[in-house]
C-alpha cells in the first residue's frame, strides 16, 4: 500500500522469468494483439461495407468479433506494460475494473452465441417466419441486452469486493479475474454462492440452450436433405467457437474456485490461451467457414495480390 496516496497495490505473481525474456514476451504479445485487432476488424469491415451481409446472422458475428477485440483490449495493454516494467503491479481499484470488464465480456460472448444459435434455429426450422421474428428492432434489442445484462450481473460481486478488506497482496496470475477472491481476509460464502448463480445463468444455461437448439437443427436437417448443407455451413462454425470458448472459460472459473496448485508455467500458458486463442480463433473460423464472408475476403486479398 502507498500510504501517501492511500492506494492499495496488488502484485502479479504469475509471470515466468519476465526479467530475462521481457522483450521477447513483449514482441510476441504485441504481434498477437495487432493480429487480433486486424483480423477481427477486417471481417467486421467486410460485414459493414457489403449490404448483402446486413443480415442478423452476420450482424451477430460482427458483434461477437467486436466483443473479442474489447476482451483483448481489457487484457493486452496491461500485459504489455507489465512485460516492460520492473514490478508487475496494479492498483486494487484498477484490478476490480479489469475483473469487471473481463467477466462482462465473457458473459456477453455466451449471450451472443445463444442469440446466434436462436437465429440459426429460426432460419432453418421456421424459415417462413424468419423475417417476422428476426426484425431489426429484435436484433437491436438482443445486442443491447448482450452487453447490459452481464454488466448488471457482474457489478454485484465487484461492488461487494470493493468494500471487503484484503490481507494478501500477491495474485497468483497475470490478470485480475475470479482469483481476486483469494485476496480477501475473510472468504465470503455470499460471494461464492452468487458467483455460482452468475456462472449458471450467464454460462451454463446459454450453453444448454445452444446445445438444445443445435440438437433440434440436427433433427430437422436429418429429416430434410435440402437443409443439411445450410445447417452444416452456418452451424459448424458456431459450434466450434462454442466448444473452444466453453473449455477455456471452464478452466478460468474452476481455477478461481479450486485450491489446485498448478505449476506457474502451466498457469501462465493456460492464461495466455484464454486471452489469445479465442480472439484469434473467431475471425479465422468465421472468415473461412462462412461462405458469404469468405467470398468477400478472397476478392479482397486476390485484388491486392
With beta carbons less than 8 A apart as the criterion, state whether 92 and 9 touch: yes
pTM of the model: 0.87
What are the Cα distances from residue 143, in Å, to 36, 59, 125, 153, 270?
A: 22, 9, 22, 16, 30
What are the Cα distances from residue 197, in Å, to 190, 201, 205?
A: 11, 6, 11
Separation of CA 2 from chain center: 33
Please say whether the dihedral angle defined by the alpha carbons of residues 20, 22, 27 and 32, taken in this order, is positive or negative. positive
Q: Which three cell numbers stand for residue 188?
A: 465470503
Q: What is the pLDDT along the chain (305 residues), one digit of tens a residue?
A: 444 445 688 888 878 888 888 899 899 999 999 999 999 999 999 999 988 888 898 999 999 999 999 999 999 999 999 999 888 889 998 999 999 999 899 999 899 989 988 998 888 888 888 888 899 999 999 999 999 999 999 998 888 888 888 888 888 888 888 788 888 888 778 888 888 888 888 888 988 998 888 888 877 777 666 566 666 666 777 777 777 777 777 777 666 566 556 677 777 777 777 788 778 888 887 776 677 787 777 776 675 54
The CATH architecture assigned to 16-71+104-166+180-304 reads Up-down Bundle (1.20)
Q: State the Cα–Cα distance between residues 157 and 176, nearest whole angstrom.
A: 14
Q: Which three cell numbers stand for residue 283?
A: 475471425
What are the Cα distances from residue 96, in Å, to 45, 93, 268, 275, 293?
A: 32, 5, 20, 18, 37
Helix ranges (DSSP H) in the chain: 18-49, 56-84, 92-125, 130-133, 136-163, 189-199, 205-223, 228-257, 264-289, 291-304
Q: What one-character DSSP code corresponds to residue 89?
A: E
Amino acid at each position: 500500500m502507498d500510504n501517501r496516496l492511500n492506494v492499495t497495490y496488488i502484485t502479479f505473481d504469475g509471470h515466468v522469468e519476465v526479467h530475462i525474456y521481457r522483450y521477447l514476451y513483449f514482441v510476441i504479445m504485441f504481434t498477437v494483439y495487432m493480429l487480433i485487432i486486424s483480423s477481427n476488424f477486417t471481417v467486421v469491415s467486410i460485414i459493414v461495407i457489403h449490404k448483402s451481409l446486413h443480415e442478423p446472422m452476420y450482424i451477430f458475428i460482427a458483434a461477437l468479433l467486436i466483443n473479442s477485440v474489447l476482451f483483448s483490449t481489457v487484457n493486452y495493454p496491461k500485459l504489455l506494460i507489465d512485460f516492460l516494467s520492473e514490478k508487475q503491479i496494479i492498483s486494487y481499484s484498477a484490478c476490480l475494473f479489469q475483473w469487471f470488464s473481463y467477466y462482462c465480456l465473457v458473459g456477453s460472448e455466451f449471450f451472443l452465441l445463444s442469440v446466434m444459435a436462436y437465429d440459426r434455429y429460426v432460419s432453418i426450422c421456421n424459415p417462413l417466419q424468419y423475417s417476422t421474428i428476426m426484425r431489426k428492432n429484435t436484433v437491436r434489442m438482443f445486442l443491447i441486452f448482450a452487453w447490459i445484462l452481464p454488466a448488471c450481473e457482474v457489478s454485484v460481486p465487484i461492488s461487494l469486493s470493493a468494500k471487503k478488506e484484503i490481507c494478501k497482496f500477491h495474485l497468483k496470475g497475470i490478470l485480475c479475474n475470479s482469483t481476486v477472491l483469494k485476496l480477501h481476509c475473510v472468504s465470503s460464502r455470499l460471494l461464492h454462492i452468487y458467483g455460482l448463480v452468475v456462472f449458471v445463468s450467464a454460462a451454463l444455461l446459454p450453453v444448454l440452450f445452444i446445445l438444445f437448439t443445435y440438437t433440434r437443427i440436427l433433427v430437422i436437417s436429418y429429416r430434410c436433405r435440402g437443409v443439411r448443407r445450410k445447417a452444416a455451413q452456418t452451424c459448424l462454425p458456431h459450434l466450434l467457437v462454442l466448444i473452444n470458448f466453453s473449455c477455456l472459460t471452464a478452466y478460468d472459473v474452476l481455477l478461481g474456485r479450486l485450491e489446485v496448485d498448478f505449476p506457474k508455467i502451466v498457469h501462465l500458458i493456460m492464461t495466455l490461451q484464454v486471452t489469445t486463442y479465442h480472439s484469434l480463433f473467431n475471425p479465422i473460423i468465421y472468415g473461412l467457414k462462412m461462405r458469404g464472408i469468405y467470398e468477400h475476403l478472397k476478392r479482397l486479398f486476390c485484388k491486392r495480390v
